[in-house]
Amino acid sequence: MNGDTRGIGMTSQRARDRLVVQIAKMGVKSERVLNLIRTTPRHLFVDEALASRAYENTALPIGFSQTISQPYIVAAMTEALLKSGELNNVLEIGAGCGYQSMILSKIAKTVYSVERIAMLADKLRIRLHELHVNNVRVLHGDGALGWEKHAPFDAILVAAAGISIPQALTDQLAIGGRLVIPVGRPGNQELRLITKTPGILEEEILGEVSFVPLVKGVG
Ligand code: SAH
């Protein structure tokens, strides 16, 4: 079905507004981020059968045992990265269906997105192209290695949880840059925000979260 016509209508707009109100109540303050949640067509990133649930504040399946992240988490992670000011290049690990990639494409000049499952990486390229998102580059690879060729990055967002922070990612972060990443095992994960300063990596815990695991190698 034509992506421009699916799901547009009052119900969808009301559902989007309701979602934004919920996310704001949960603590996201940035108007810019709330507006991105309001205007990004999440229903086009899930199967048609799930499109009617696209503006619920929950993760939904996208196949291959993976999920599209909960909108609140997408908003909170994006807000955390925006605090470092204007972003030139952003690295995204675990692009999945590309919803977060599209949001990042609106706050950065170029987004470098890595996804380990080939079929998802292929679908994501096509979807972003159809949505006229032209500043996201997609790599099928192991995101734990980062994307060295385009480093250093002003910001790095990781959407899958490892038991520790891959060193390649902190190495590829620019001085003053921010990395937001879930760390821990299933059922016991926390979202961390790392800020790189000349001497040290400052670390802040943003809260408890539940992400799919960061898996080694490619699929
Ligand atoms: N960002 C997505 C969420 C995707 S779920 C959204 O917008 O909703 C997390 C994704 O991370 C999955 O697609 C999974 O395949 C991917 N992933 C897991 N381990 C990875 C790794 N080592 N490198 C790259 N991607 C990985």
Q: What is the pLDDT of residues 167-213, one digit of tens each?
A: 999 999 999 999 999 999 999 999 999 999 998 999 999 999 999 99
All domains in the chain, ordered by first residue: 59-209 (3.40.50.150)
- Does the annotation mark 69 as catalytic? yes
Low-confidence stretches of the chain (pLDDT < 70) are 1-11
Measured from the Cβ of residue 12, the count of other Cβ atoms closer than 10 Å reads: 18
pLDDT of residue 106: 97
pLDDT of residue 1: 43
DSSP helix/strand/coil, 195: strand
Do residues 62 and 46 touch, judged by C-beta distance below 8 A? yes
Closest CA to 92 of 129, 127, 59, 124: 124
Q: Which of 12, 69, 105, 113 is catalytic?
A: 69
pLDDT of residue 13: 87
Do residues 120 and 145 touch, judged by C-beta distance below 8 A? no
Strand partners, 179: 156, 194
- Please list, in sequence order, all residues whose beta carbon lies within 8 angstroms of the beta carbon of residue 103, skipping any fewer than 6 positions away: 36, 37, 40, 74, 78
Residues flanking ligand 1, CB < 6 Å: 66-69, 93-97, 99-100, 114-117, 120, 142-144, 159-160, 212, 214-215
> What residue owns the CA closest to ligand 1's atom 11?
94
- pTM for the full predicted model: 0.94
pLDDT of residue 2: 44
